[in-house]
Amino acid sequence: MRKAIIAGNWKMNKTPAEAKALVEALKPLVKEASCDVVVCVPAVDIATAKAAAKGSNIKVGAQNVHFAKSGAYTGELSADMLKEAGAEYVIIGHSERRQYFGETDATVNQRVLAAVNAGLKVILCVGEKLEERNAGYTDALVEYQTLIALTGLDKKQVEKIVIAYEPVWAIGTGVTATDEQANETIGVIRAALARKYGKGTANKVRIQYGGSMKPSNVKGLMAQPEIDGGLIGGASLKAEDFAAVVNYDK
Ligand code: 13P
């Protein structure tokens, strides 16, 4: 049995003071959660969010990481920096990074390796655009994105990766993939993992759905056998909404 994991992706929202307030509001609301609870916050909020989450079941994550250990990369943050600031998780390869910041499958792979080597837990994002789905490329694309991103990891390392399947057309649009669509594509990702790393490994990897997941649709999505959690954007910015998603089984 895989333990569910629900993570908030705050994107570029919340100042440190606002982050503190949101984490404090969340703490009592999610304390009975049966899943892992993570908030992936802007880097400047990590230390504050970590301090606010102290003594609770809320884990803190970052939203991106550079692949070099250190060096002349103005404006970037290394895995060691994020970890020392208090991040336990890091999102890598979000479609907004791919779309607006030139992220490629190759650099996603480099970032995954850097994060894993530094002891950060990775939430790897994959997903197709609408035109790719309409052209019938969804399965091939998510398989390719996933396997490239994991290149260089051994089975034990792959087991610990969390994958977020986020169809780009469902992000921030209010349009959710149907429960069956999400389940089917996540099944495709797991089958690809099984072919490359064996069934035992594939069955341990937690695969989330992301894209307009919210209190009103979380139950149906989480009832699907392949879906092990969610990566939540908009609905993670209000304590009551995120708590309602986290407490989907209550
Ligand atoms: P929304 O939940 O706002 O659609 O965002 C999903 C997402 O991109 C999470 O990473």
Annotation says 94 is catalytic: yes
The kind and range of the H/E element at 132 are: helix 130-134
Ligand 1 centre distance from Cα of residue 50 (Å): 22
Average pLDDT of the segment spanning 192-207:
98
Pocket test of ligand 1: the residue of 41, 103, 231 to mutate, having most ligand atoms within 8 Å of its CB, is 231
Would the pTM of this model clear 0.95, i.e. be above it? yes
> What band does 180 get if pLDDT is binned at 50, 70 and 90?
very high
Catalytic residue among 96, 128, 166, 226: 166
Average pLDDT of the segment spanning 135-154:
98
Topology at the third CATH level for domain 7-246: TIM Barrel (3.20.20)
pLDDT in tens, 87-126: 999 999 999 999 999 999 999 999 999 999 999 999 999 9
CA dihedral 38, 228, 138, 220 (to 10 degrees): -110
> What pLDDT is attached to residue 1?
84
> What pLDDT is attached to residue 156?
98
Ligand 1 binding residues, C-beta < 6 A: 9, 94, 166, 171-172, 210-213, 231-235
> What pLDDT is attached to residue 149?
98
Q: Please state the length of the chain.
A: 250
Ligand 1 centre distance from Cα of residue 234 (Å): 6
pLDDT in tens, 36-45: 999 999 999 9
Average pLDDT of the segment spanning 129-133:
96
CB of 10 within 8 A of CB of 227? no
Annotation says 240 is catalytic: no
